[in-house]
Chains A and B, each alone.
Chain A
């Protein structure tokens, strides 16, 4: 029973990833794409958590944490790029 519920959840996450992916591809503006990517990251994170329950392992906990960090950093970098045009700013005398 619980297995089926987990699989259903996984499928739903996949659908939401697919929908977000559509937004990434079409997404008329850059911020749309950035947000969609961030959503994909969070959904991935959640589906990995579900998968690790399905597989009954703790091995993916690091992956979940890493994904969280990466999604955050990625979104920050993306937004900064959209805002300023550069990601790593240099000192003016550099």
Chain B
């Protein structure tokens, strides 16, 4: 039974395997109908948990994955994960239903679409239910990848591919940061389990890695939840099919970052940095998104910026929820609203934004355009869509009698409450919070009106539409209508929603405040007296209406904002700069000239070896045990030096070859005086052959460019050559001076006859003691021989072939 709970996560993934077969074999029925069964079933399954979870129970199941590394898939259902699971499966069902009517079963590659969508659903369920850090990361990246696939669904369009790549770069980049944060967390806590980390959270605060893990984890959350300044991928992700935008980019994936922040609040809330970052970035995003939403002309663009802004709102409220940790008796103060408001608005946002996206899709589908400048006067033609859009927009603007009103009131209460606490300087900077929030709410109001009235009111201009507009089929309208119904219903029964869903989730976020969901004594009421937030709302409405009426007069101001200062431009420049810069850097050192590479290698060797000698203090010279130097040895060395110098300084190549030959013969002579007859023999023969080969090569040099001139002197090469020589000398001297272990040659000397039955010790070593080396040296020689043969023969063959081809 418990194991089943983990398997529920994988149901969509398993169903995804069947989708292509269904698509190929059953052509008459839209594949979406089969897919619809999956989230619908899951909704029912998760709904069965509601009653128990609302009482404060939690459910946990574990599926071992790599037990030796302590990695397993842990499904942990408490208020927070259950809420998200229900959102994912519930809105998932509606989106699948909508997509059945939105995507044409003949023109579209439905099997791709539903496979990606189901994959995403599994990944998202995994993210919100995982109690194990590593599997949480696994599912997290899976959402990034499936989102990438879904955004690039119409992969023949440039914009889709650009948007997909951009979202992939940003979210995966953030995901990697988050992985770093997770690993640091697990190092600090010694466990991968989030629950266990929450228990030991007080011990983690003083750890030196604490701040790093905090920042890295927040980077992951901010990139995923499109916070400032990482929001830029979300507007470009609007190239995805509308069901995808509605599902991923309003209700589920972009809330993964919020989930992460909420889930880790009990661990990090202790830190002031966390509070500041989450609240500050959230508010900045809220303002930024709402401000620039009005600049957009694309319906989905407006919605994307509005999503960014609303996510910022929820993020700032989660920050407020973390402040509660620092306030004694926060459960009795007005301040307790923050986390509650965050979760409540999260639900509300999922309902109204989902429906608005679907309406935008319907308008696109029925009129052929999403450009708000071409739209207008659709009210009488598409009355149902208009109703839904109006409900959604008014809720987004925060008007009664819609759920957005309730959450906005609570938001303002929480922001006002933040102002009242003299906590880490909130008394000075905190005053800004409600003001920024209030201004952002005004802009939210304006763009909500802008969205609905520019589309549906005004003049009807049929000649501007690519298609003749008409009301959408009822099937397409079912999903947005259900969501719009929720928008209204939640307004009238907020406490039912609050008790069943929000309170258990709040308890998961703020375990330091409440022992059980029933301990949370928050009662949502539409009318709570003449509080300051009510006047703020009235102010929002009045100023919002005034500004909206005057919108045509000042919307042009947005064009004054230079394109070069936007974050999109920065992203483009960074990507381009990386491309060009890295190319230039590679070109700088990868010259294609062998000489340069040799210079790098030799200087590298010298630096490493001499550096090691120096650092390890291994350098020493001692002539103890050295043999006396004889006069003829000196003469031979002089000859050797002259030969070498001749080779280097020679004017003609022939002289160099002869100089090299003389060096070889002198070396043979050295072998003689150092008692190595076999070596001397071999050296003589080999030297002769190689000189002959050199002469052969010399003779075949091409006439052109065969300028006989002395090698040019170059200082850097000279320095490196000298350095290499010095290095080898030093190493040889040091090695000779510090012999630790006696040689094993004594053993050979004693046993060469008794064991091997030979007199020539060198030959016995070569073929008896260590015959393996000889075997492979023979192999090397034969390979070389065959290679030379092949080189000569094959080149001729190719020439012949080239001739034939002509």
Contact = CB atoms under 8 A, between A and B. Distances in A.
Interface of B is mostly: helix
Interface string A49-63: 001100101011011
B681 to A, nearest CB: 5
A18 B639 CA distance: 6
B636 interface: yes
B95 interface: no
Given A44-B665, A66-B684, A70-B684, A87 B677 contact: no
Given A11-B631, A77-B692, A21 B677 contact: no
Contacts of A66: 681, 684-685
Given A55-B675, A63-B681, A11 B632 contact: yes
Interface in B615-650: 630-632, 635-636, 638-639, 642-643, 646
B159 interface: no
Nearest to A33: B658
A62 to B, nearest CB: 6
B89 to A, nearest CB: 83
Interface residues of A, number: 35
Interface in B746-790: none
Contacts of B598: none
B662 interface: yes
A24 B672 contact: no
Contact of A51 (B655, B672, B684, B696): B672
A25 B646 contact: yes
B677 A25 contact: no
A16 to B, nearest CB: 11
B688 interface: yes
Contacts, number: 80
Contacts of A67: 684
Interface in B656-694: 658-659, 661-662, 665, 668-669, 672-673, 675, 677, 680-681, 684-685, 688, 691-692
Contacts of A40: 662, 665
B695 interface: yes
A7 B695 contact: no
A48 interface: yes
Contacts of B673: 51
B792 to A, nearest CB: 14
A79 interface: no
A81 B654 CA distance: 13
A74 B668 CA distance: 16
A7 B639 CA distance: 17
Contacts of B692: 74, 77, 87
B695 to A, nearest CB: 7
A11 B635 contact: yes
A43 to B, nearest CB: 10
Contacts of B675: 55, 57
A14 B695 contact: no
Contacts of A41: 665
A18 B665 CA distance: 13
Interface of A is mostly: helix
A74 B691 CA distance: 10
Nearest to A26: B655
Interface in A4-59: 7, 10-11, 14-15, 17-18, 21, 24-25, 30, 33, 37, 40-41, 44, 47-48, 51-52, 55, 57, 59
Contacts of A57: 675, 677
Contacts of A14: 632, 635-636, 639
Contacts of B665: 40-41, 44
B684 A63 contact: yes
A10 B518 CA distance: 108
A74 B630 CA distance: 31
B764 to A, nearest CB: 14
A30 B643 CA distance: 18
A37 B655 CA distance: 12
A81 B695 CA distance: 10
A37 B681 CA distance: 18
Given A15-B635, A87-B692, A44 B658 contact: no
Contacts of A55: 675
A44 B669 contact: yes
A24 B662 contact: yes
B688 A60 contact: no
A70 B669 contact: no
B662 A70 contact: no
Contacts of A70: 684-685, 688
A17 B688 contact: no
B29 to A, nearest CB: 78
A41 B685 CA distance: 12
A38 to B, nearest CB: 12
A62 B677 contact: yes
Contacts of A59: 677
A22 B658 CA distance: 11
B664 to A, nearest CB: 11
Contact of B639 (A21, A51, A74, A87): A21
Nearest to A88: B696
Contacts of B688: 70, 73-74
Contact of B658 (A18, A37, A47, A81): A37
Given A24-B658, A51-B672, A62-B677, A7 B632 contact: yes
Contacts of A51: 672-673
A37 B672 CA distance: 19
Most central of A14, A55, A85 by chain B CB within 10 Å: A14
Contacts of B646: 25
Sorted nearest first, the 7 A-B pairs with minimum C-beta distance are A59-B677, A14-B635, A10-B632, A70-B688, A63-B680, A63-B681, A48-B672
15 contacts: A7-B631, A17-B639, A21-B642, A25-B646, A25-B658, A37-B661, A40-B662, A40-B665, A48-B672, A60-B672, A63-B668, A63-B680, A70-B685, A74-B688, A81-B699
Given A24-B662, A44-B669, 17 more contacts: A7-B631, A11-B631, A14-B636, A17-B639, A18-B642, A24-B659, A25-B658, A25-B659, A40-B665, A48-B672, A55-B675, A57-B675, A59-B677, A63-B677, A66-B685, A70-B685, A87-B692
